[in-house]
Amino acid sequence: MRKIFIITIASLYLASCGGNKKQSVEEVLASGNLELLRTKKDELRKENQELVKNIELLDTEIAKLDTNKKVPLVTVIAVKNKEFVHYLELQGDVQTKKNVLVYPEVPGQLISVYVKEGQRVAKGQSLAKIDDGGMSNQLAQVEANAALAKTTFERQQRLWDQKIGSEIQYLQAKTNYEAQKNAVTNLRKAIGKYTVRAPFAGIVDDVIKEQGTVVAPGMGAEIFRIVNLGDMYIETDVPEGFISSIKKGKDVMVDFPILGKTIASKVRQAGNFINPANRTFKVEVGVPNKDREIKPNLTAKLKINDYTNPSAILIPQSIISENGEGAQYVYVVDKAGADKGTAKQTIITTGKTQGDEIEILSGLKEGELIINDGARSVKDKQEVKILASSTK
């Protein structure tokens, strides 16, 4: 083929020269004649143009006849609609609203501690006893007075019902009984404060004060820490741009890297206040914790569902290119046979991304073939050879 090309070029050159002898460039240069120089220049330019045109014709014919020409090898993806679930990824720490320090309500010496660290307790269970300074003995006397006042009132009432005695005696007996009864109630309440009780069901995480310690209400006087691991949650800050898409009830995947555990949950509360300092709002995600493995302050990664498209077109981000005007495009293949086709540059509009995939909002439709491997090495309207295809 190369020999044919050289012979053809030589023939064309001889034909253009004709039978007349022409002066060489060296001869024209040696003449020093300006007009002759210009004429020779124009002559050579025309010959060059003719040669270029003929070479192009030969290239075209060679391309048609050459069965060994190089055609880009590509793989294609058959576009298919499918559900697209997008997640906003954030981070937060586990918290619980039932993680409290238990303080004494009254001053006194801690004479008994009934529980130890790690022990489960019920709501209202006695945790410790503070010396009441003899108030229990006073209660016995007050209760005796109340019992006597009750008996006196009941007798006086029976007499009053029989119209015996004066009304003032009846009212005095009644008032005395009610006063003694109230005294018993108040004293029992006061004595009750000397017994430290669990505010809710949970686990005694820390026994802070030992038996014999003198305690009093106030900061630094805590006796126990009690934690309930059943009602856990994660609070995180969400950028204000998601206030319309992240609401109560949205699905959330909660990952605990340290535990190697992932659980499904939902947004149980979405704040209505935008923090002006960082332009975020609070979101609270419930954390089921039946096995009690999850602890307060444990770090968690959240994937909150903020967008769902039940019929989306998704393609790999790696096959998308951008032209000089900033428009994104991919190559669609118009098949001309089982393994041949023509690449066609197609402008697309993209949406949200998830991992390596990106949503296509316009430019592609279901069933079209787009070039995957080899997308960076083809040109618009170029013939390609298809190695394989897959459904995306």
pLDDT tens figures, 330-358: 999 987 677 888 999 999 999 998 888 99
**pLDDT score of 66:** 64
CA-based max dimension of the chain: 166
- What is the token pair recorded at 35? 């007009």
Residues 319 and 373 in one domain: yes
**pLDDT score of 69:** 62
**pLDDT score of 335:** 79
- What is the token pair recorded at 188? 């029992």
The residue among 280, 308, 336 that closes a domain is: 308
Residues 298 and 319 in one domain: no
Q: How confident is the model at residue 67 (pLDDT cuts 50, 70, 90)?
A: low
Q: Compute φ and ψ for 219, nearest 5 degrees.
A: -65, 140
pTM of the complete model: 0.57
**pLDDT score of 333:** 92
Say which CATH number the domain at 319 has. Answer: 2.40.420.20
Residues 369 and 286 in one domain: no
Residues 219 and 116 in one domain: yes
Say which CATH number the domain at 126 has. Answer: 2.40.50.100
Q: How confident is the model at residue 219 (pLDDT cuts 50, 70, 90)?
A: confident
Top-confidence residue, 19 or 112? 112
| pLDDT score of 15 more than 50 | no
The residue among 226, 247, 281 that closes a domain is: 226
Among the ranges given (3-12, 145-154, 228-237, 369-378), the one the predictor scored with the smallest mean pLDDT: 3-12
Residues 120 and 218 in one domain: yes
**pLDDT score of 390:** 61
Residues 141 and 214 in one domain: yes
| pLDDT score of 10 more than 60 | no
Contact 285, 266 (CB under 8 A): yes
**pLDDT score of 21:** 59
Residues 233 and 217 in one domain: no
Say which CATH number the domain at 296 has. Answer: 2.40.30.170
- What is the token pair recorded at 178? 């009610």
**How is 135-180 classified by DSSP, letter by letter?**
HHHHHHHHHHHHHHHHHHHHHHHHHHHTT-S-HHHHHHHHHHHHHH
Contact 339, 375 (CB under 8 A): no
The residue among 226, 251, 284 that closes a domain is: 226
| pLDDT score of 9 more than 50 | no
Top-confidence residue, 339 or 80? 80
**How is 52-116 classified by DSSP, letter by letter?**
HHHHHHHHHHHHHH-TT----EEEEEE--EEEEEEEEEEEEEEEES-EEEE--SS-EEEEEE---
The pLDDT tens digits of the residues spanning 375-388 come to 888 889 888 888 87
Query: Domain limits at 243?
Result: 89-97+227-308
What torsion do the CA atoms of 178, 179, 181, 182 make, to the nearest 10 degrees? 110
Residues 131 and 156 in one domain: yes
Residues 186 and 116 in one domain: yes
Residues 231 and 196 in one domain: no
What integer is the mean pLDDT of 193-220? 89
| pLDDT score of 22 more than 50 | yes
Q: Where are the alpha helices (DSSP H) in the chain?
A: 2-17, 25-31, 34-65, 135-161, 167-192
Q: How confident is the model at residue 68 (pLDDT cuts 50, 70, 90)?
A: low
Q: Count up the domains in the chain and report the number.
A: 4
The pLDDT tens digits of the residues spanning 114-146 come to 999 989 999 999 999 999 888 888 888 888 888
Q: Average per-residue pLDDT in the chain?
A: 86
- In 3D space, the residue among 304, 305, 298, 303 whose CA is nearest the CA of residue 233 turns out to be 298
**pLDDT score of 18:** 46
Top-confidence residue, 276 or 23? 276
Residues 245 and 202 in one domain: no
Q: CA angle at residue 298 from 294 to 300, to 5 degrees? A: 95
As a whole-number percent, the residues of the chain with pLDDT over 70 amount to: 92
Helix (H), strand (E) counts: the chain: 5, 21
Residues 302 and 317 in one domain: no
Ramachandran region, residue 220 (left: φ > 0; alpha: ψ -120 to 50; beta: rest): left
**pLDDT score of 391:** 54
What integer is the mean pLDDT of 214-224? 87
Looking only at the bridges linking them, the beta strands covering 108-113 and 214-215 are: antiparallel
Top-confidence residue, 67 or 387? 387
